[in-house]
Amino acid sequence: MTVISNDPSWWPIINSDIFFSYWSVAAAVVVVYDWVLTLGQEIELIWKQRWSLMTMLYLIIRYIGITYSVISVLPYMTMVSLTDAVSIILGYSTNWTNVVIPAVMSVIMISRLHAMYQGSRMMLIFLVIIFLVVYIACGIIMSIVLKQSVGVELILSGMYMCEVDYEGNVQLLVSMLWMLNTVWEVLALCLSVWVAAKHFCDLRRLGPLTRSTIGDCFRALIKSHVLYFASFFCVSCLQLGLLSPELLDSNSMGAQILYGALQILVGVQMFVLGPRLILSVRGYHAKLVADSDAETSMGSIVFQERVYVPTSSTV
């Protein structure tokens, strides 16, 4: 559907889209800049290493993230005409990315938690069951949302805009998506805090050399965990605030700034910190391999795709 109008009443929407385009470009720049910044690590730790599941997950997050960031800018390029069909395609691709990438990151988190719990099969089964329940439900909800979407090409005062309108009570479904993702992230956070507290208590009963090595090993995991969960907390707070009726359809400057900040933070959480969850572990493993003394003292600790950190019960 195409809407053509020169009515001045559309100017708040035009200004809002132009303002939001700056934030979209900023989010894309952050993602691409981080890729350039870590390209050397990527070549050494990803491309030159044996291919595995983690390799594939890294490449999915990194390069879908770059593509997503660029595509997200297109609907706000007011000098480029996009048909309603293209609007629908862009809407489908960006919305499904918001489901697929968190699912991929959850697989990485499952791998890390499985390692932190010393390869516990029960913990792995528990995490996989919760993961399947959450993301199958997210997939069904997203399918319902997209089934109710309609692409709209707007030509307002000579400016082209691409919009996707939704029929029915889509906001309720979006809220359900947010709650499901929040439940999963909170569960992962609680499990991480619990096992971290347990391991650091157990380290007190180990010898100085073993305590230092295992402590450094565990800190490598916790450091990236802290950054990831901190970004999740910021994103969740913004999403919760923007669900309020006062901000939902508002074109005020405050609401636009919040939406723009959310765009950047979501990009950082998914496409910057996501790849770094893998790079941090592989970087630490490469450091251990380079240091023969540290490699010997690690003994039976396996720290590449999964990091097994023995506690007092296994030492």
Q: Which residue has the higher pLDDT, 135 or 240?
A: 135
Q: Tokens representing 284? A: 């630490």
For CA atoms 119, 125, 130, 132, the dihedral sign is positive
User: Considering only CA atoms, which of 283, 271, 282 is closest in space to residue 34?
Assistant: 271
CA 104, 149, 136: angle at the middle one, nearest 5? 30
Q: Which residues contact 167 (CB under 8 A, 6 or more apart)?
A: 148, 149, 150
Q: What are phi and psi of 309, to 5 degrees?
A: -115, 105
Residue 205 is predicted with a pLDDT of 67
Listed in sequence order, the DSSP H helices in 43-83 are: 53-71
Please tell me the predicted confidence (pLDDT) of residue 58: 94
Q: pLDDT-derived band of residue 135, with 50, 70 and 90 as boundaries?
A: very high
Query: What is the per-residue pLDDT for 304?
Result: 44
3-state helix vs strand vs coil in the chain, percent to 5: 75, 5, 15
Residues 58 and 271 sit within 8 Å (Cβ to Cβ): no
pLDDT of residue 305: 45
Other residues' Cβ atoms within 10 Å of the Cβ of residue 207 = 9
Residues with Cβ < 8 Å from 130, sequence gap 6 or more?
A: 184, 187
pTM of model > 0.85: no
pLDDT in tens, 141-187: 999 888 877 766 667 666 767 666 667 677 788 888 888 988 998 99
Predicted pLDDT of residue 298: 42
- The pLDDT tens digits for 201-222 are 776 665 554 445 555 666 767 7
User: Above 90 in pLDDT, residue 7?
Assistant: no
- The single residue listed with the structure tokens 């490469």 is 286
pLDDT digits (tens, 9 = 90+) for 15-27: 777 888 888 899 9
- The model's pLDDT over 57-108, given as tens digits with 9 standing for 90+, comes to 999 999 999 999 888 887 776 666 666 666 677 778 888 898 999 999 999 9
What is the spatial distance between Cα 19 and Cα 259, in angstroms, rounded to a whole number? 11
Residue 263 has pLDDT above 70, yes or no: yes
Could you give phi then psi for residue 161, rounded to 5 degrees? -140, 150
Q: Which residues share a beta bridge with 154? A: 3, 161
Strands 159-166 and 2-5: unpaired
Nearest to 20 by CA among 32, 8, 9, 28: 28
Distance separating alpha carbons of residues 264 and 22, to the nearest angstrom: 11
Residue 199's Cα: distance from chain center in Å? 27
Measure the CA–CA gap between 293 and 244, rounded to whole angstroms. 56
